[in-house]
Amino acid sequence: MPDSEGTLERRIRFLPSGLPKTRFRRHEFIAEIVHDRRVDPNLFYCIIQPAGAKEILWLGQFDSFKQAKKAAEKRIREFHREASAGNAG
């Protein structure tokens, strides 16, 4: 069920590579956070794309899931503001 900001979050257990990922959608964007346990220390990659597109708008690398999610939420807010401003004018 989406929250008040339109976020729908779900955990997808594993990618074909065996790496777990979390995917959430807010507004017209999708963020995926992939937990790479193959390296020490573990890394978390965040990928932001427009919903339904293959284009990557932003990619980041973080030390924790919390950092990756916080950065994803911030970038999605920025992308949404830019898209809304572009549609207004």
pLDDT tens-digit readout, 3-30: 555 555 555 555 556 678 889 899 999 9
29 part of a folded domain: yes
How many structural domains are present in the chain?
1
pTM for the whole structure? 0.76
Cα dihedral 2, 28, 20, 55 in deg (nearest 10): 170
In a domain? residue 1: no
pLDDT tens digits, 55-86: 999 999 999 999 999 999 999 999 999 989 98
CA 83 to chain centre: 17
Q: Are 43 and 63 in contact (CB under 8 A)?
A: yes
Strand ordering across the sheet containing 21-26: 8-12, 21-26, 29-36, 43-50, 58-62
Of 24, 68, 31, nearest to 49 (Cα)? 31
